[in-house]
Structure 1
Amino acid sequence: MINLLLIFFYLALGVVLQRVKRFPTNSYKLLNKIVIYYCLPALALYYIPKIHWNNQLLYPIGVAWIGFATSFLLFRFLGNKYGWSKKLTGCLIITAGLGNTSFLGFPIIEALYGQEGMKTAILVDQPGTFVVLSTLGILVATLYSKGEANGFQICKKIMLFPPFVTFIVACLMNVFNFDFHEWIQLMLQKIGSAVTPLALISVGLQLRFESRSQHWRFLGLGLLYKLLLMPFLIYVLYVVLLNQNSKMVEVAIMESAMAPMIAASILATAYGLKPRLSSMMIGFGIPISFVTLAFWYLVLHFI
C-alpha cells in the first residue's frame, strides 16, 4: 500500500513542480536521460543474469510485439477505410501500440508483485517494448512521415541505445552463468531503484491536459485500444487459448494494460505525427490508466 501511495505522491510532485516558476521547464529531459542511460541499464545488469531462461519467457517478451502488430493492423485498416491522413494513422499506431512498461510499469509492478514481478517486467520492457520502439516504431514513424526508411539508421539507433547494449551484455552474462560481485550488485540495485521516483516525477512534469481539441475522437480510439482492447487480446491469447495462469503471465497482462509510452509520444512528435494528439495520449492516458489497471487487477484475481 505504501508503494502505491508513493506512486501518486511522486506523480503529484511532478505536476506541482510544473507550476513552480523557478523550476526548469525542461528538467524532465534530464530525468529521462538519467532513467534511460543509468537506471534501466543497471536494472538489466542486476536482474537478467539471475533469470533462468525457458519457453515461458516468450509470454512477457511477446506482449509488446503482439500489441504493436495488432495496433498497426487495426489503425491502418481504420485509416484506409475512413480516409485518415498518414500522420494521424502513424500517430495512433505508435502511441496506442506501445505501453509505458518501464516509467510507469516498473513502479506499479514492483508495488503489486515485488522484486519477483520486476524480473518479468524487465522482459516485457527491454527485449519487448524498447526494441519494438527502436525498430518497428522508427520504421512506422519514417513511413508515415515525409522521410524515407533508412535501414542503416535503424540499426545504428538500436546498436547505440544504452539499454539495448546492456541488455545484450546481461544476456551474455546469463548464458555464461556469470554475475557481478555482491557489492557491485548492490550498487546496481541502488541505481536501478531510482527509476521509480525519477520516472514518475518526469511523467508528472510532462502531463498536459487540453480541454479544447479536435482530437477527442481519435484520443478515445487510441486509449480504448491501449487500455482495454490490447490487454483483453493478451488475456484471451495467454489465459483463455493457451491456458497460462502463472504470475509471469499475470504481470505480462498488467504490463500490456499500461498507459501509452512517453518515448513513443516523443518519437511521434519528432516525426511530425500529430504532436498535440501524441501529447494528449500521454496526458489523459496516464491518469485514466490507474482506473483501468485496477480493473484488470481485479479481473486477474477474482475472475
Structure 2
Amino acid sequence: MVNSIEVILVPTFMIIVGVLLKYFNILDDDHSSLLSKIVLNISLPALIFINISSSRIEGQMILLPLISFGLSFICMLIAYFYSKLRGYSKIKTWTLIILLSMMNTAFIGYPIVLGVFGNEGLTYAIFYDMAVAILFVIFGIILSTIFGGNKKEVIHNGLTFVPLWAIIFGLIFNIFNIPLGYVLKNSLTYLGNSAIPLIMLSLGLTISFKDFKSYLSDVVFVSFSRLLIAPIILYTLLAGTGFSGLMLQVSVLQSAMPTAMNSLVLAITYDLDVELVSAVVFITTIISLLTLPVIISVL
C-alpha cells in the first residue's frame, strides 16, 4: 500500500519540475499564467465534469459546501480578532481574513485527495471546493464595495467561472443519467487527466523566493492557523457531531490545505498587502508538504 509520504512526493516532484523549468529559463512566470488559464477553463472543468457525471452522489454530499463555508467563517473570525489585537489597518485586516479563509482545495487539494482516496474521494473534494469558489466571488464583491472596483465585472467573472458550470452540468448529467458517448467521454477524460500535472507545473512556476523577515510574525500565524488549527477545529466539530468515513476524512484533509493562490488575485485587484499574500502562499505551500502527511496519517 502506498504511504502518505509517497502520495505527497508525487505532486511535490511535479512542483519541483516547474521550479527547475523556471530556474533554467525554459519557462517563466508568463507561462504560469497561460497554464493556469488552460487548467481553469479546460482541464479542471473536464476533470470535475467527468467525476461528478459518473460518480455515485450521496445525499450527505450537499453538506460539504456548508461545512467548508462554516470553517471559512471561523477562520475569518480568528483573523479578525488577531488583527484587532495587533491594531492592524483595514487593508491588513482584510488581507489576513482572505489568507486564512481561502483554502487551496482545488489546485493542491484535488491531487492530494485523489492520491489518498481515489476518484470517490475526489468527488467529495469537488463538493467541498464549491464553497471556496463561491467565497472568491463573495470576497470580490465585498472588497470592491469597501476599496472600490468594478462590482459588475466581479459578478460577471463569478458567473462565467467554468469549473462552477462544470459542477452544475455534471450534476445534471448525473441526476438524469444522460449518456456521454464514447467520443465525448474519452475526450473529456484525456483533458481531465492533464489537469493535475499542469496544476503542479503552474504552481512551481509561481513560487518566488523573497525576503520574509518583515512578514515573519504574520506568516507564522497564518501558517500555523491554516495548516494545523483549522483541521483540528473541523475534526473536533465533525467527529463530535457524528460524522465519519470519507465525509470526515476528505473534509479535514481539504481544511488542511495551504492558502489559495486566488487570494493573490484579490490582493492585486484591490490593492491589499500583495507582498504578505505572496509570502504566505509560498510558505504555506512549502510547509504543507510536511504537515499534510501528518494529517493523512492521523486520518
Q: Match of 1:142?
A: 144
TM-score of the aligned structures, taking structure 1 as reference length: 0.90
Distance (Å, rounded) in 1 between the aligned partners of 2:52 and 2:27: 37
- The code of the aligned residue for 1:160 comes to T
Residues 182 and 74 of structure 1, relative CA distance in 2, 3 Å threshold: same
Q: CA 1:212 to 1:49, structure 2 compared with 1: closer, same or farther past 3 Å?
A: closer
Tell me if the contact between 2:8 and 2:293 (Cα under 8 Å) persists in the aligned partners: no
Q: Distance in 2 between matches of 1:140 and 1:209?
A: 31
- Find the counterpart in structure 1 of residue 31 from structure 2: 27
After TM superposition, list the pairs within 5 Å mapping 1:237-256 onto structure 2: 237-239=237-239, 241-256=240-255
Greater Cα shift, 203-212 or 6-15: 203-212
Match of 2:256 in 1: 257
CA separation of 1:143/1:79 partners in 2, compared to 1, >3 Å: closer, same or farther?
Answer: farther
Which deviations, in whole Å up to 9, do the C-alpha atoms of 1:234-290 show, x marking residues without a partner?
A: 111111x21211123201210110111111222222211100110011111111011
Give the number of aligned pairs.
Answer: 295
- How far apart are residue 22 of structure 1 and its match? 5.0
- TM superposition shift of 1:175: 3.0
Instruction: Give the Cα separation in 1 of the matches to 2:41 and 2:32.
Output: 14
Q: Secondary structure at the match of 2:214?
A: coil
What secondary structure sits across from 1:26 in the alignment? helix
Partner Cα distance (2:216, 2:141) in 1: 26
Q: Which runs of 5+ in 1 are unaligned?
A: none
Q: From the superposition, tell whether residues 77 and 179 of structure 1 become closer, same or farther in structure 2 (CA, over 3 Å).
A: farther
Q: Report how far residue 91 of structure 1 moved.
A: 1.0
Could you say if the C-alpha distance between residues 118 and 22 of structure 1 is closer, same or farther in structure 2, counting changes exceeding 3 Å?
closer
Provide Cα deviations, 1:87-118, integer angstroms capped at 9, x if missing partner: 11111111221111111111111111122211
Could you tell me the TM-score, scaled by structure 2's length?
Answer: 0.91
Of 185-194 and 46-55, the range deviating more from structure 2: 46-55
Q: Contact 1:68/1:93 (CA < 8 Å) preserved in 2? A: no
Query: Is residue 8–residue 289 contact of structure 2 (8 Å, CA) maintained in 1?
Result: no
Structure 2: gaps spanning 5 or more residues: none
> Is the 2:212–2:279 Cα contact (8 Å) retained in structure 1?
no
Contact 1:59 1:249 in 2 (8 A): no
Tell me how far 1:212 sits from its aligned partner.
4.3
**How big is the alpha-carbon RMSD for the aligned residues of Structure 1 and Structure 2?**
2.0
Structure 2 CA distance for aligned equivalents of residues 292 and 212 of structure 1: 20
Distance in 1, Cα, partners of 2:24 & 2:201:
14
